[in-house]
Amino acid sequence: MTKKNPSHARKDIDELKDRKALLMDKMRKEAVEKRHAMGKRTARENIADLCDEGTFSEIGSLIVAGQKGRKPLQELRINTPADGLITGIGKINASSFEKNTSCYVLSYDYTVLAGTQGAFGHKKTDRLMALATKANCPILFFVEGGGGRPGDVDFTSVSTGGLDLMTWRSFARLSGKIPRIAIVGGYCFAGNAAIAGCADIIIATKDSSMGMGGPAMIEGGGLGSFHPKEIGPAKTLAKNGVIDLLVENEKEAVAIAKKYLSYFQGSSKQWKEHPQEELYAILPEDRRYAYDISKIITVLADEDSVLELRKDFALNMITALIRVQGKPMGLIANSTRFLGGAIDSDAADKAARFLQLCNAFGLAVISLCDTPGFMVGPDHEEQGLIRHSSRLFITAASLDVPMITIVLRKAYGLGAMAMAGGSFHASFLTLSWQSGEFGAMGLEGAVKLGYNKELAATKNKKEHDALYDKLVAKEYEKGKAINAAETLEFDEVIDPIETRKRIATAMDCQPTDKTFNPTRNIDSW
């Protein structure tokens, strides 16, 4: 029997290849050139950069826009490939980590009808959400686009306003179950923006803009005429906390997304540490001086392992993903450069949501405490401080992951307790550097309040100041770490260079097979 030539072409295979060729960038030169002229990459270029080479498998590629009632089918195949939504599954960071590195990837294609959301695209999105749920794999969504697409006439007989769509519910239901990343590389309005807002984190380029309504919707509602860049510019949204990571361009967005995902892909076998003696020079000996907490975080963490989230929002609170001896962890820290490290409403919200994120995906938390407490005063109470600050207590009380608290300097009152999970004995381990100081409230405030009569009885300012300084020194001596440790409110006073070792030892005590109950959801704010 003569074998068939394996190179012999089959008509059905050729037909499939011809149809799939229409999807590729090389078949859409004009659209691609227009995209590149804007300084942007195509959706397929971003996906190719994101996924390990040769691992991306596309799903639902052959659909087209639901406009067969108004345009020829072949025209739709050429101009609306995949209905402007590329979806599939690929590997990310597979060579570096042992855990499952598969990720479901979705990307609106701005070269197709400005990245708008088509009816078939919604159906495809829902299918991907169902697959990600079954596979328990992360989702990464490039969400640039203009929102809903009114031109899909094929569905007008079965839907009035598309109000029965499940896309946003399908995506939102995965909150706290699997990591979900949204990347914005340009204009992102209406339904696209709502998807971004439901994600765990938003990575956005500096030239991007986001809004729950685009220019047409705003003007149609009689609210004025605006350029897309005027609606939710990235710089504004980074400052108010909407954007978690602000980057230069799509290339950096993809690189940062890969780094973010790595913290949920297990430990790194290769790591380097900074000389820990560098810590001595960062924290000033004079307790009144502020310092750069970011430098301390950098030295404590493995080299090149720090990824700070919401960097431009609530500057008095740092939230970051880090590694210590290769192990991924979350970190919160007070920054004394802003409000002296006091915790206001924004800082409490920022830290509480970050704790939810860590808890959902099993990351232990390091807390670097240097705070005079919660911010006080009429202005802050007008912002609902009581409820906002309480989020820290409520969130921490339900943590399944261990928290390791390290007092760097000030640990006063309720704010310090909140930084330790609600109590210094709530943390799995509570340590203090030799520079730590403890009290029910700030030393200066305690002296002014507790010794008001004595200070008022002084004869002049010189005598007043001398008594005040004496009393503050007395309170400091009582509350400094090596003396406060005698009451066992915390576990140990350590030399700063011991910190990494102590963290690693504490993590070695944790069972490696422990499973964490999925968080009900991670707050969108």
Taking only the tens place, the pLDDT of each residue in 483-517 is: 989 888 999 999 999 999 999 999 988 776 666 56
pLDDT at position 515: 61
| DSSP run (H or E) holding 134 | helix 119-135
Q: Under 8 Å CB-to-CB from 282, ≥6 apart: which residues? A: 291, 292, 295, 296, 299
| Same-domain status, 284 and 202 | no
Rounded to a whole number, what is the largest CA-CA distance in the chain?
118
Q: Which residue has the tokens 């959301």?
A: 117
| Same-domain status, 30 and 146 | yes
**Interatomic CA distance for residues 333 and 411, integer angstroms:** 12
Q: Contact 437/475 with Cβ under 8 angstroms?
A: no
| Same-domain status, 120 and 135 | yes
| Same-domain status, 449 and 427 | no
| Same-domain status, 102 and 206 | yes
| Same-domain status, 449 and 327 | no
Residues of the chain with pLDDT under 70: 1-8, 98, 156-161, 512-519
| Same-domain status, 364 and 470 | no
Three-class SS state of 404: strand
Last residue of a domain, one of 210, 237, 262: 262
Query: Which is nearest to 168 in space by CA: 156, 180, 150?
Result: 180
**Structurally, how many domains does the chain consist of?**
3
Residue 524 dihedral angles phi and psi, to the nearest 5° = -70, -20
| Same-domain status, 251 and 293 | no
| Same-domain status, 403 and 331 | yes
Length reported for the chain? 525
| Six token digits for residue 235 | 């710089």
CATH number where 314 lies: 3.90.226.10
pLDDT at position 214: 86
pLDDT at position 95: 87
| Same-domain status, 173 and 282 | no
pLDDT at position 475: 78
The answer to whether residue 20 is domain-embedded is: yes
pLDDT at position 514: 60
pLDDT at position 10: 85
**Interatomic CA distance for residues 106 and 47, integer angstroms:** 9
| Six token digits for residue 96 | 């570096």
Q: Contact 370/407 with Cβ under 8 angstroms?
A: yes
**Interatomic CA distance for residues 398 and 415, integer angstroms:** 18
| Six token digits for residue 17 | 């290849």
The answer to whether residue 2 is domain-embedded is: no
The answer to whether residue 521 is domain-embedded is: no
**Interatomic CA distance for residues 369 and 150, integer angstroms:** 52
Strand pairing of 437-439 and 403-412?
Answer: parallel
| Same-domain status, 449 and 415 | no
Last residue of a domain, one of 262, 286, 317: 262
| Same-domain status, 298 and 412 | yes
The answer to whether residue 217 is domain-embedded is: yes
Sheet holding 180-184, edge to edge: 57-58, 85-91, 102-108, 139-142, 180-184, 201-205, 245-247
| DSSP H helical ranges for 480-525 | 481-484, 499-508
What residues are paired with 181 via a beta bridge?
A: 140, 201
The answer to whether residue 499 is domain-embedded is: yes
The answer to whether residue 453 is domain-embedded is: yes
The answer to whether residue 3 is domain-embedded is: no
Query: Which is nearest to 264 in space by CA: 349, 327, 204?
Result: 327
The answer to whether residue 514 is domain-embedded is: no
pLDDT at position 441: 76
Amino acid letter at 521?
A: N
Last residue of a domain, one of 201, 228, 262: 262
Note the pTM of the prediction, 2 decimals. Answer: 0.93
- Domain, as residue range, for 377: 276-436+480-508
